[in-house]
Structure 1
Amino acid sequence: MNPEKLAKLQANANRSKGAPRRVVKKVHRPVAQDDRKLQGALEKLALVAQPYVEEVNMFLEEGTVLHFRQPKVHVSAASNTYAIYGRGEEKELTELVPGILNQLGPDSLASLRKLAESYQQSAAGQAALAAEGDDEVPDLVESFEEASIEETKETTA
């Protein structure tokens, strides 16, 4: 056995003499334990689970929507308290427009109008740029072969 390796192993040993070598196992706690803590907190608030909720949309002031697909919803009607948890995605209002028109309130309708106006202005600006520029291909005035021959003459001279 190599004495250098042996000395290195002895220096790295974190155990007392005579103690067996043991591999330390890391115990991973299941997610269910966190879920139990959450359920306990919800029970303290007297929240009741509401099944069959397909989606939840929260409209933010920036014009974006926090969208939950198939969330878990708990409600306490007496205290006007809602607990919504699940995987949420932040989306633009335009991505969800056809399906959420019936969910929009007066504030959201105003932001939707502003969004539509800005979209119309940008579309009008693009149309003006398209009208200014010629879409036709310009006629070929010179031949490319003659231009390349002239370039080669200039570089050799």
Structure 2
Amino acid sequence: MNPEKLAKLQAAAAASRIGGKGTPRRKVKKVHKNPVADDKKIQATLKKLNVQPLNHIEEVNFFKNDGSIMNFRWPKVLASPAANTFVVEGTHQIKQIHELLPDIISQLGPESIESLRKLAETLQLGQAAKAGEAAAEGDDDVPELVENL
């Protein structure tokens, strides 16, 4: 038999065969994790910490260092004051501070108040620039009333 032809056949057979007779067995068994099992472990750990639900909480806000806020609307909140543990469950939205402004002023810390002050300054500068542009245009002035109606 021709050695070149034999080499081609062996290469084609090795490329097409994935498993079957003569192939080595897989030594590592992949374990697929079940998210339900993870949830059960979390619930068991929370039960050990003796967390109790806190009812009637409408909103939870987490202030991030970059000035954005993680906002939870009607979350499920569990707390264990003895373990200094609070659990917040629910969907969140990432919002900027100006989107939640009138409602969250009482929740702001010193860092957030400073960023709020900077935001107010930029808004004032923007409004002043718009007013300057409107005054420079002069076309937006209301004509004076000459006749009596």
Task: Tell me how far 1:118 sits from its aligned partner.
Answer: 1.0
Matched, 1:57 2:61: yes
What is the DSSP-based 3-state SS (H/G/I as helix, E as strand, rest coil) of the residue aligned with 2:100?
Answer: helix
Q: 1:34: Cα distance to partner? A: 4.9
Partner Cα distance (1:50, 1:91) in 2: 24
Which structure 2 residue ranges, 5 or more long, are not aligned?
1-33, 141-149
Distance 1:53 1:34, change over 3 A: farther
**C-alpha RMSD of matched pairs (Å):** 3.5
Of the three residues 92, 98, 107, the one matched with 1:94 is: 98
1:83 alignment counterpart: 87
Q: TM-score, normalised by structure 1?
A: 0.59
Secondary structure of residue in 2 paired with 1:84: strand
The alpha-carbon deviation at position 117 of structure 1 amounts to: 1.1
For 2:68 and 2:103, the matched residues in 1 are separated by 15
Report % sequence identity.
Answer: 40
Which residue among 72, 75, 79 is the counterpart of 1:68? 72
Counterpart AA for 1:69: R
In 2, distance between residues paired with 1:66 and 1:58?
A: 5
What code does the residue aligned with 1:46 have? N
Q: Partner amino acid for 2:59? A: E
Following TM superposition, by how much is the alpha carbon of 1:33 offset from its aligned partner in structure 2, in angstroms? 5.3
Give the structure 1 partner of residue 5 of structure 2.
none
The ranges of structure 1 where at least 4 consecutive aligned residues each deviate by more than 4 angstroms after the TM superposition are: 30-34
Aligned to 1:104: 107
Q: Which runs of 5+ in 1 are unaligned?
A: 1-29, 137-157
Aligned to 1:124: 128
C-alpha distance in 1, partners of 2:104/2:97? 9
Instruction: Name the TM-score, length of structure 2 as normaliser.
Output: 0.61
How many residues are matched? Answer: 125
SS, match of residue 130 in structure 2: helix
